[in-house]
Structure 1
């Protein structure tokens, strides 16, 4: 497992803490749950990605080349 430090604004931390308490989870478990739910929702909305995997980057859409020819 990877140890990852994240800075949260006070108001967002309070919301996560309250949701964790309501769901009877630790704050860490609540954050992991929310990330999993969010990534699942993104995968359902992005069929253009290989296998619907949100961790697989979508092809980059390049801007038209504006450099002089």
Structure 2
């Protein structure tokens, strides 16, 4: 198992904690669940990734200037 440290904005952490409580999961289990659900929703083959090649970069999402200010 890999250990990975992640920092969350306070408001996002609160949302995760609230959802974990509602789902009767630990925050860790809730994060794993959300990652699994999110990753399963990504189609392995899309027009942006012909052949489902994970090395082919996907386009950036959001505004063209999405840097935090």
TM-score range (shorter-chain normalised) is: 0.5 to 0.7
- RMSD in angstroms over aligned alpha carbons? 2.5
Q: Map 1:22-33; keep pairs closer than 5 Å.
A: 22-33=22-33
Shift of 1:42: 1.1
Q: Which runs of 5+ in 2 are unaligned?
A: 60-69
Does residue 39 of structure 2 align to residue 34 of structure 1?
Answer: no
Deviation, 1:45, is 6.9
Paired residues, number: 56
The structure carrying a bigger helix percent of its residues is: 1
Superposed CA deviations along residues 8-44 of structure 1, whole A, max 9, x for unmatched, are: 0000000000000000000001001101100111126
| Structure with greater Cα Rg | 1
TM-score scaled to structure 2, two decimals?
0.68
Structure 1 unaligned blocks of 5 or more: 51-55, 62-69
* Large movers: runs of 4+ above 2 Å: 43-48, 56-61
